[in-house]
Amino acid sequence: QVQLVESGGGLVQPGGSLRLSCAASSIFSINTMGWYRQAPGEQRDLVAAITSGGTTDYADAVKGRFTISKDNAKNTVYLQMNSLKPEDTALYYCNAFFRGFAYWGQGTQVTVSS
């Protein structure tokens, strides 16, 4: 069992920045972690993912604006979000894939509005 604890969401004006953090409670190294988001009435979509080796994947909508990073020693993943737009407003979920199972955080709200 892996528990994921997220932090860093909030309200920000368009063009602003936020940094999300997600810590996984595991004594074992988790290879793949990432962030998904879900807006009201929409499906949950991948935002960014990263492996322990540093391989990253981004949704086209966030390329050049968001950066995902991972502290392997702490099993913690970060999402630096810059140049935020109103369409980035969503509930952001941390995800970890470990030993064949997918684990999810409780979600942290990001609202981009003036």
pLDDT in tens, 64-97: 999 999 998 899 999 999 999 999 999 999 999 9
- Cα distances (Å, whole numbers) of residue 72 to 2, 38, 41, 86: 15, 26, 34, 32
Helix (H, G, I), strand (E, B) or coil at 61: helix
What confidence tens digit (pLDDT) does each residue in 6-30 have? 999 999 999 999 999 999 998 788 8
Distance CA 50, CA 68 (A): 7
Model confidence band, residue 103 (pLDDT cutoffs 50, 70, 90) = very high
